[in-house]
Amino acid sequence: MSTLEQWLQEQTRQGRHLYLMLDSDGQLDERNGLASELGVDHYRNLYRGTPADSLANVAPYLFRLDTVEHPALQALLK
């Protein structure tokens, strides 16, 4: 287990989580892939239910990542 994975597990034990904010502009495929892979409990559309709801299709999303082995996080780390 990597040092980063150990750190993430310790943070999770302490009730902390790692989040990825992904802008939908130019990253719709990545956004949709993460949303379908992670499930509704692990992401939020940041405009949904706000005065900017009409822009929800192009809104940034917030994803909770439970492992550093997730491909999206690995790509960012590289």
Domain residue spans in the chain? Answer: 19-65
Rg, C-alpha atoms of the chain: 14
Res 53 pLDDT > 90: yes
Full-model pTM: 0.76
How is the beta sheet containing 61-65 ordered, strand by strand? 18-22, 61-65, 43-45
Cα(9)–Cα(37) distance, integer angstroms: 21
Q: When comparing pLDDT for 55 and 6, which is higher? A: 55
Report the candidate in 19, 70, 7 with the shortest Cα–Cα distance to residue 43: 19
C-alpha 27, offset from chain centre: 13
